[in-house]
Amino acid sequence: MVNIKGSTVVVTGGQRGLGKAIVDEFLARGASKVYATARSPKLGDDPRVVSIPLDVTDANSVAALAQAAPDATIVVNNAGTLGDPSLLSSDIEDIRAVFETNYFGPLRVAQAFAPILARNGGGALVDIHSVLSWVSGAGSYGDSKAALWSSTNSLRIELRDQRTLVTGVHLGYTDTDMVKDVDAEKNDPKDVARQIVDGIEVDATEVLADDLTRHFKSALSGPVEALQLRVGSRP
Ligand SMILES: NC(=O)c1ccc[n+]([C@@H]2O[C@H](COP(=O)([O-])OP(=O)(O)OC[C@H]3O[C@@H](n4cnc5c(N)ncnc54)[C@H](OP(=O)(O)O)[C@@H]3O)[C@@H](O)[C@H]2O)c1
């Protein structure tokens, strides 16, 4: 059982978008301290928030974050980026760059914080996936989120003995900069953040934030042709 009240939380990409909503939700639910990262961090006025630099593609940056946050009890891998929706016309280096942020980045963070979470009693590791971990047509973004989903599920096994809860979060379109040009119904980031903290409170291994996501989770046992949005969709 992971306590939210009194917790110390790390949220990667915690200064805007969904990450900022997650920071606010933890604070509202009684977290004592939140490390909120950005590549160019801005100072805030809440003394409970530690503004700290992080580029998840840089191993030294991740190591420095872990050194600065030895009291972490909950780590949220929220940082993520989009890529070109076409695999065939993408440069391999561009695809690799998406994986650096969306797959290797969270894995670096997990490796750096696993011993810290163990020392602090187990705690929780939360990975933000997407409905596109399961749905095709979104190029390197979907590929990287599928890989992250798999990594989360393997880490759950590796972290079991140290009693770390590992929670994977899947969501569709959510109202942030990432999809500002998409004209579609979108989740409120505050609602997604509330569901994430609710999930941690009850030791949930998976949080499915909306009906679209629940639909595609249930469609996984059906034909693969049913697992697609229109090409170019990238929630
Ligand atoms: N919005 C959606 O529709 C949607 C749907 C499904 C899943 N998601 C996932 O939700 C998470 C949050 O996305 P969002 O919607 O809030 O997107 P966003 O508004 O584009 O914000 C992206 C966040 O990721 C951080 N970030 C990007 N590259 C980084 C790097 N190399 N190192 C460290 N931080 C980096 C950014 O931090 P800086 O401040 O440093 O730029 C920013 O906080 C992502 O994992 C995304 O894939 C979003």
Q: How far is CA 230 from the centre of its chain?
A: 24
**d(C-alpha 188, C-alpha 86), whole Å:** 28
List all residues 6 or more positions away from 168 whose beta carbon is below 8 Å from its beta carbon. Answer: 126, 127, 129, 149, 152, 153, 205, 206, 207
Shortest-distance Cα residue to atom 43 of ligand 1: 13
Question: 67: which 2 tokens?
Answer: 């050194």
The single-letter code of the amino acid at 149 is W
**Residue-level pLDDT at 232:** 44
- What is the whole-number distance in angstroms between the Cα of residue 88 and the centre of ligand 1? 24
**Residue-level pLDDT at 231:** 42
Where would I find the beta strands (DSSP E) of 39-130? 49-53, 74-77, 124-128
Shortest-distance Cα residue to atom 44 of ligand 1: 80
pLDDT in tens, 35-82: 999 999 999 999 999 999 999 999 999 999 999 999 999 999 999 999
pLDDT in tens, 123-176: 999 999 999 999 999 999 999 999 999 999 999 999 999 999 999 999 999 999
3-state secondary structure (DSSP) of residue 232: coil
pLDDT in tens, 193-223: 999 999 999 999 999 999 999 999 999 999 9
Ligand 1 site-directed mutation target among 100, 178, 187, most atoms within 8 Å of CB = 178
- What is the whole-number distance in angstroms between the Cα of residue 164 and the centre of ligand 1? 24
3-state secondary structure (DSSP) of residue 49: strand
**d(C-alpha 76, C-alpha 14), whole Å:** 9
**d(C-alpha 63, C-alpha 81), whole Å:** 21
- What is the whole-number distance in angstroms between the Cα of residue 2 and the centre of ligand 1? 25
Report which ligand 1 atom has the smallest distance to the Cα of 16.
43
As annotated, the active-site residues are 141, 145
